Amino acid sequence: MPIASTNFVEGAPALLSPLPRRTIGDDVLDTLRRSIIAGNFQPGHHLAEGALAQQLGVSRAPVREAMMQLEREGLLTFDKRGAAFVKEFTADDLEEIYSLRLTLETMAARLACSTMPEEVVTRIEENIEKTRSAKLLLDLTLLDVEFHDLIVQASTHQRLLSAWSSLRHQIEVWLARMQSRLEAPIEKTREATVAHHRGILKALRSGKEERAVTVVREHIEGWRRQFPRSQR
């Protein structure tokens, strides 16, 4: 069926943005990543390319590409024979993820205070509303990290964003593990997350850099206080 004609004027801003084109590879990558973050594949679990392709009903090629991307994201490792295993994060790994996250996000908060446009504020508010409605711990985890991702994007610091992107999915694993260790009802975790994120947004909108940095720092350090290094 042909798309109805729209009167575009040359040189005028487009009314619609092109929709992202998803591929089978994108779907395979998202499925495997979510499974790792959710703990469906435990640390050290062997992911067999052929078996995964059969289970997902796809060829081996998109599975292989997804596994290579997951290695780049730090969620998979390959042994000398080329076999893939879910990354086992040690206490040292988790400490590095935490400390780098703290450095990147406090820097992002400082920069975002003076550069955050209203459209980003709107996206953050939408994220908070979705978080309020989250029913699954995995969705809560992904929305939580998405909230922080939006702040990093608002910093408009490209190298900061690049460093964050290389760490983001490891943070999702880290956060999912911390949340599962709480063993608290999801309602309680969800309520606390929404309250903290509203506080961060308020601090960012104040335009006061030190206040924003302090609120973000306290939010992230709260996890360390709940889980000392020996308990991770």
Asked, for residue 222, whether it belongs to a domain, the answer is yes
Query: What confidence score (pLDDT) does residue 148 get?
Result: 97
| 126-147: pLDDT as tens digits | 999 999 999 999 999 999 999 9
Residues 64 and 147 in one domain: no
Residues 54 and 82 in one domain: yes
Residues 68 and 164 in one domain: no
Question: What domain count does the chain have?
Answer: 2
Query: What confidence score (pLDDT) does residue 7 get?
Result: 44
Residues 98 and 67 in one domain: no
Taking the C-alpha atoms of residue 224 and residue 38, their distance in angstroms, rounded to an integer, is 21
| 10-25: pLDDT as tens digits | 444 445 556 466 788 8
Q: Which residues contact 76 (CB under 8 A, 6 or more apart)?
A: 36, 47, 67, 70, 84, 85, 86, 87
Residues 168 and 67 in one domain: no
Taking the C-alpha atoms of residue 32 and residue 52, their distance in angstroms, rounded to an integer, is 9
- Nearest CA-CA partner of 199 in 174, 228, 220, 169: 220
Asked, for residue 17, whether it belongs to a domain, the answer is no
Query: What confidence score (pLDDT) does residue 22 get?
Result: 73
Answer whether residue 224 shows pLDDT above 80. Answer: no
| 66-123: pLDDT as tens digits | 999 999 999 999 999 999 999 999 989 989 999 999 999 999 999 999 888 899 999 9
Residues 80 and 105 in one domain: no
Residues 35 and 50 in one domain: yes
Please give the residue range of the domain that contains residue 193: 91-231
Output the six-digit token pair for 21.
Answer: 């084109």
CATH of the domain at 117: 1.20.120.530
Residues 50 and 95 in one domain: no
Answer whether residue 6 shows pLDDT above 50. Answer: no
CATH of the domain at 74: 1.10.10.10
Asked, for residue 202, whether it belongs to a domain, the answer is yes
| 175-206: pLDDT as tens digits | 998 888 777 788 999 999 999 999 999 999 99
Residues 210 and 134 in one domain: yes
Residues 68 and 141 in one domain: no
- pLDDT interval class at 228 (50, 70, 90): low
